[in-house]
Structure 1
Amino acid sequence: MKREIVLLAMFTMAIIFMAGCKQHGTPKPRGYYRIAFPEHDYKPFNKKSPYTFDLPVYTEVGDGAQPQTREKYWYNINYPNLNGILHISYKAVDNNLNEMLEDSRKLAYKHSVKADAIAERLFISADKNVYGTLFDIKGDAASPVQFYLTDSVRNFVRGSLYFNSVPNKDSLAPVIDFVKTDIVHLMETFEWKEMPKL
């Protein structure tokens, strides 16, 4: 009787063990931190420059000119809570608009090595004399959004977005979409001031 109980217990344990081995676990996908974005809200860009636009209230503006270049009207729009920065550079057009346009295109397409696709979105505001292109760079590119704006005669502004992190399209996608909304708003509210002397 005792032997039968032991055999029955061993048989039961073997069935439970084999039944437990038939189920295979599925690995969980990698998770990312949830980011709480602020509401999109804007204020006027009030720095000395030949241009103006609406600036997100949750950003900080820093001087973008490097001491060795001494370029005027270059600014960095910092997103401290998102670890990102939008570099804004300015150049006066001096019969070299085609060269500036080609340089902007080359700088955007330089990321094609890591990009899945690059979409170009034209921007035209004839009443403000503002024309440009937004480069939406998909994939693991270092700079996922770039743009330029010009009046086609005297002024040229270029912008490029960077994050202080390893490019990862999956984890950065919501942040890029959030900042891209700000960049589109910047382009839509962009205006030229009277051209100052350089």
Structure 2
Amino acid sequence: MIKKSQNKYVFKIITLSMVFGFVACGEDYVPKPKAYLRLEYPKADYTKSQLDLPFSFEMNKLATKIKSKNLSGTTTSYGLDIEYPTLKGTIFLTYKAIDNKKENFMLFLKDAENLTQKHMIKADEIPVTVYENKEKRVYGLFSEVKGDVASPAQFYITDSINHFLTGSLYFYAKPNYDSILPAANYLQKDMKHIMETVEWK
């Protein structure tokens, strides 16, 4: 015959076994992956640049901060920062005059290619698109750098005689390809539009 104290003990064991049994039969807990906000950006509205530079182009009105600087103290080299505060990104443009010298052209071309090559270590892939507009004498290359890299896109364009222009995209935040992808895609379209609308002076 089972005593009352033993009876309570057996009841507790049976109750706990049933609770564990029900819990074990449930679905396994899987932590939710990190989510990113779905960002919507306004349709691009472009206007022609009114800057004292050896070239003109169309830029998005969403870029509210433009910083232009002479890099060499002469009319041969300029830097231009096109800032997008709402997207936390900047397109950096660098202009250099070739002065009809083949050695200058080859040096500028090598520097532009090296900029993209620096990101190859962390890049998943780098699709390249050739750009050519014979009528405007604009020839170049657009590189999209996929992966957790500092600059997800670069380009260079030139007439191969007098003008050489490079562009690169950077974000203020630590690079995380998934989180910056919507903004990167948006600004890459702006970069391509700059390439397509450049006119040499």
Give the TM bin, normalised by the shorter chain.
0.7 to 0.9
Partner of 1:93: 98
Query: Aligned match of 1:20 in 19, 23, 30?
Result: 23
Which moved further from structure 2: 27-36 or 52-61?
27-36
Per the normalisation by structure 1, the TM-score is: 0.86
Check conservation: 1:91, 1:157, Cα contact below 8 A: yes
**1:185 and 2:188 aligned:** no
1:11 corresponds to which of 2, 11, 14: 14
TM-score w.r.t. structure 2 length? Answer: 0.85
Deviations 1:92-119 (A, max 9, x none): 0031212211110011111111111112
Task: Confirm or deny that 1:58 pairs with 2:62.
Answer: yes
Residue identity matched to 2:164: F
Give the letter aligned to residue 54 of structure 1. Answer: E
2:48 matched residue in structure 1: 44
Please tell me whether residue 102 in structure 1 is matched to residue 104 in structure 2: no
Write out per-residue CA displacement over residues 36-71 of structure 1, whole angstroms, 9 at most, x where no aligned residue.
3121111111111111111001102112456xx546
Compute the displacement of 1:172 (Å).
Answer: 1.0
- Computing the radius of gyration from Cα coordinates, the structure with the larger value is 2
Query: Identity over aligned residues, as a percent?
Result: 35
Out of 98, 123, 129, which is 2:131 matched to?
123
Structure 2 residue runs without a partner (length 5+): none
Give the length in aligned residue pairs: 189
Paired position in structure 2 for 1:196: none
